[in-house]
A and B are shown apart, each in its own frame.
Chain A
Amino acid sequence: MVLNTGAPPVLSVSDLVKRYRTGTVANDGISFSLHPGEIYGLLGPNGAGKTTLVRQVLGVLRPTAGTITLAGRDVVADPGFARKNVGFLPQGQFDLLTLRVGELIEFSARLRGMDPRSARVRRDELIGQLDLGQFASTSMHAASGGVRRLAGFAAAIAAPARLLVLDEPTNDVDPIRRQLLWNSMGELGEQGATVLLVTHNLAEAERFIDRLAIIDGGRIVREGTPGSLRSLVTDKLRLETAFRGDVSLHPALIAESMAPGRYLFEQRDLSAVSAWLSAAREAGLLADFRIGPPTLDDIYAAVVAPPRELEAAS
């Protein structure tokens, strides 16, 4: 992708605070910038404040304090500018579900200002690109979750936008079409589009994200490139296991990662852990295992849910 860190940021969020009337502070001093052509990941558990942040960037929620500028324009003062210049894929349902797939793409382009003829051309282009041809006349309501998600993605990128905000774009999408979606996003990046990507699919996003922020409790708790964040756990290795019975875990397994059966341990304990795994396998207690470098999942788990000591696993 075409990253231009010297150019003025496309999106700049500074000291953003959102306090709801109930007193809940959903965003508590968030600052970050997106450079032209950058794909910026936003990770965090449910309730971390991601959706609140996105709604403010989109101009549908007014911040309590702080600034948001899009291409140099203050979108808190001028939310209409955000609506004209941001393509958006919401996470949940949106009110076009009874349109047909092709119509959703076409009308999204039209409502974003494209003339009818260009909107039809763009619709056909995206249907081809995302392999949605057989679903073009299918009602969104009747389409599978994956096709619906993909059509929503196509709708979000149908008209040119300075910034794309995509909330969990690959949810429910099958592996083949998911690759098409990432390819399409890569192409947009090549063309200089800037993407704010909210995701939980860390392993997948790691291959495409330029930088990411981990958000928790309304604050950015870590920010950097996937590589720089991986350095948080460089002295560790990841172990994935599938046990057949109750097994006393090796004391060197100091942290449990996001998924069951996944652990972190210090690199210096590799021999001890290997010996323990061999013994478990010989005893018929271990069906499968894999050791590798930590992924974004592990970093995320380490940052959001601090490691805890383990007692036993089965």
Chain B
Amino acid sequence: MTPIRQYVDLLSVQLRSMRDELWFVAILQLALSLGLVLGMGYLIPDVSEVTAMYLVTGTATQAFVTVGLVMLPQNLSQARAQGRMEYFLTLPISREAYLLSLVTVVAVMALPGVAFSLAFGAWHYGFSLSYDPMFLVVMVLAVFSLAGVGVAMAVYIPHQQATNAATQLIIFYVLFFSPVILPSSQLPELLQQTAKAAPPTYAADAVRATITDLPDTSLTKDIAVMGGFAVGSIALSAFAIRRRG
């Protein structure tokens, strides 16, 4: 059986496994997006068009972060702690196909939040979205880079509680201390430098570059870095689960 057919079968298994909770995740994503778009607007008086664009594109990126860097590592870490993940490892399947199927599910789960954030945010703040065909590439890379790092967290952090704590910190970091919702210039120098090592920075930058009129000169770099995070994290995770204790 080819790895591609394995990937398709595994993806089908993952989606079927989640069908009972997909509606819940979708509602949660919509609520989070709605809350962020509206709530941040209350925090910031006189939201300018530029600020609104940051807010809206940052919220869309946050939807990927919630699923890829929070839900996925939490679920996977729990599966690993309970020994459920090992069942897959006893099957004659490609490790990469297994990990990619997990990451693809993240895309499906994040999609409602991303689409809603962009459409509702643009309408609410009264600006129009522009559409660059590269947006689709950016979406795919955003998912794969963030969820890839999420998988690596679940695989490398030894304890489930530690993984859960790390995911909580990530939420705080992305919301308030990284240039995802806020422009980089509003952050202190230290955080501007730290942000260069964080994959959500590049995802948010790239989303902004392909869906708004904000000036951006770094799309190529964003795409390259996201690709690096995606390939690197999946390869590191596959290496870890291939290792046999």
Contact = CB atoms under 8 A, between A and B. Distances in A.
Contacts of A99: 13, 16-17
Interface residues of B, number: 26
Given A61-B245, A90-B87, A110-B9, A103 B92 contact: no
Interface in B1-18: 1, 6, 9-10, 12-13, 16-18
Interface in A31-87: 55, 58-62, 79-80, 83-84, 86
A96 interface: yes
Contact of B91 (A20, A83, A139, A141): A83
Contacts of B89: 60
Contact of A60 (B6, B20, B79, B86): B86
A95 B88 contact: yes
B87 A95 contact: yes
Given A60-B90, A83-B92, A90-B86, A96 B1 contact: no
A112 interface: yes
A141 B20 CA distance: 11
B231 interface: no
A261 interface: no
Contacts of B1: 110, 113
Interface residues of A, number: 32
Contacts of A103: 13, 16
A80 B91 CA distance: 9
A84 B91 CA distance: 7
B91 A112 contact: yes
Contacts of B87: 88, 90, 94-96
Given A60-B86, A90-B86, 15 more contacts: A20-B245, A55-B86, A60-B89, A61-B244, A90-B83, A90-B87, A94-B83, A94-B87, A95-B84, A97-B17, A98-B19, A108-B91, A111-B13, A113-B92, A139-B20
27 contacts: A58-B90, A59-B90, A60-B90, A60-B245, A83-B90, A83-B92, A84-B92, A88-B87, A90-B87, A90-B90, A92-B82, A92-B84, A93-B82, A95-B84, A95-B87, A96-B13, A96-B17, A96-B87, A97-B17, A97-B84, A98-B19, A108-B91, A111-B10, A111-B93, A112-B91, A113-B92, A141-B20
Closest 4 CB pairs of A and B: A94-B87, A95-B84, A62-B244, A98-B17
